[in-house]
Amino acid sequence: MKFFRSSSNTAGSAVPQKLTRRSSGMGEISRLLNSQETLCVLDMGATSANNIRFFTGKGHKNYSEDLLRSSLDPALRVQDGAGNTVVDSKKFLDENLVYATAQFDVVLCWNLPDYMEESLVKPTIDRLWSVMKPGGFLLAFFHTRDAGPDSTCYRYHVTGTDMLEMQEIKFAPPGRPAADKQSPRLQRVFNNRHIENLFRDFASIKFFLARDAIREVLVVR
Amino acid sequence: MDAPQTGEFAHIGKSVVIKGELSGSEDLYVDGSVEGKIELRNHSLTVGPNGNVKADVTAKAVVIQGKLDGAVVASERVELRKSAVVTGDVTTQRIAIEEGAFLKGKVEIQKEAGKATGSATS
């Protein structure tokens, strides 16, 4: 079992606080990135110049696809037979993650599974399995049961081999004006068994526990 | 680069809609809608805040403030301003992305002749 540290620093009282964390999962992925050339990396967080610089600077191809933002598209909301509003997962996958089979060497999910609509999580992981190369790495972060529903949703900027900068994300909920931005709510907390089931088609799974109610999961396709 | 104030450039205003292939030998500022293909081999394209481009773009430099849906190939640089919404692959030597810009697609940095690495800046 491995642990990694989380820390914070401020450059001044008027400057927004920048949180950083050391990531063991990112460290393992960096070793892969440093040992091979022209890998395909899929970053599923919000568009980050840091991340694009980090990956392309090492000669790799960077694909950006902000799936959390895409999943909030009001056009995905449809009425089911009982009149309930549900998310159309088929339409979602018709419009997102449309790549050739076995294309990616590295997929960075970050905290997407915790904040995405429940009905989209398993179909998304299954699609990721099909677009990843055998032996490819997937990194995801999951809250532990200690995290409350109002725990802050972050995007992650890679600032070093195993260092991440965390920046709070805020979105306007579907159908609301942009001025109503708020941090997405934690949808659920996966336990270890849930996580293993989610990635049961993958070859191996490794957990890294942290002190800040987050566990990192590094999965090999 | 915001709306160009001086020099040789073509300006497509926000009420203009063009469908087809655009090519030229001067800089182009698009604040309207263009659907098709844009080729400005040795010149720059700026998509203004009201611009809506659905086209594959080839230019020396591309600055995006509005919406672009298509592949971008820029021999020198690409800038995504904070209001940019880009869906498509970007191939260039240098890319700058402002906080708030949205990109869905691949970024591939082509090495400059005689230099070892490309870069992305914010």
pLDDT at B41: 86
- Within 8 A of A33 by CB-CB distance, chain B residues are none
> Total domain count for chain A?
1
Maximum CA extent, chain B: 44
User: Chain A contacts of B103, Cβ < 8 Å?
Assistant: 47, 64
Indicate whether B122 pLDDT > 60.
no
Higher pLDDT, B9 or A141: A141
Least confident residue range of A33-37, A150-154, A160-164, B103-107: A150-154
Is residue B118 included in any domain, yes or no? no
Determine which of A42, A64, A171 to mutate to test the interface with B (most B C-beta atoms within 10 Å): A64
Residue B82 has pLDDT above 90, yes or no: yes
- What pLDDT score does B23 carry? 92
Distance between CA atoms of residues B81 and B100, nearest Å: 8
A154-158 and A163-168 as β-strands: parallel, antiparallel, unpaired? antiparallel
What is the tally of structural domains in chain B? Answer: 1
In a domain, B117, yes or no: no
Interface of A with B in 20-79 (CB under 8 A): 46-50, 52-53, 56-57, 59, 61-66, 69-70
Listed in order, strand segments (DSSP E) in A83-125 are: 85-87, 104-110
pLDDT digits 0-9 by tens, A31-88: 999 999 899 999 999 999 999 999 999 999 999 999 998 998 889 988 888 888 888 9
Q: What is the mean pLDDT of residues A140-149?
A: 81
CB contact under 8 A, B119 and A53: yes
Average pLDDT over residues B26-45: 95
Q: Considering only CA atoms, which of A46, A127, A202, A137 is closest in space to residue B80?
A: A46
Predicted confidence band of residue A2 (pLDDT cuts 50, 70, 90): very low
Range of the domain at A196: 3-220
The span from the CA of A64 to the CA of A99, in Å, is 12
The Cα of A198 is separated from the nearest Cα of chain B by a number of Å equal to: 25
Residue A16 has pLDDT above 80, yes or no: no
| pLDDT band per the 50, 70, 90 thresholds, residue B119 | very low
In a domain, B113, yes or no: no
pTM over the 0.90 mark: no
Task: Tell me if B9 is assigned to some domain.
Answer: no
In chain A, residues with a C-beta closer than 8 Å to the C-beta of B101 are 47
Inform me whether the C-beta atom of residue B25 falls under 8 Å from chain A C-beta atoms: no
Note whether B107 contacts A62, CB cutoff 8 Å. Answer: yes
Local confidence band at B111 (pLDDT 50, 70, 90 cut-offs) = confident
Question: Complex ipTM, two decimals?
Answer: 0.79
**B104–A49 CB contact, under 8 Å:** no
Q: Over range B13-20, report the average pLDDT.
A: 93
Residue B28 lies in domain? 14-108
A43 CA: distance to closest CA in chain B (Å)? 10
Separation CA B10–CA A174 (nearest Å):
38
Q: How far apart are CA B61 and CA B79, in angstroms?
A: 8
B106 touching A, CB under 8 A?
yes
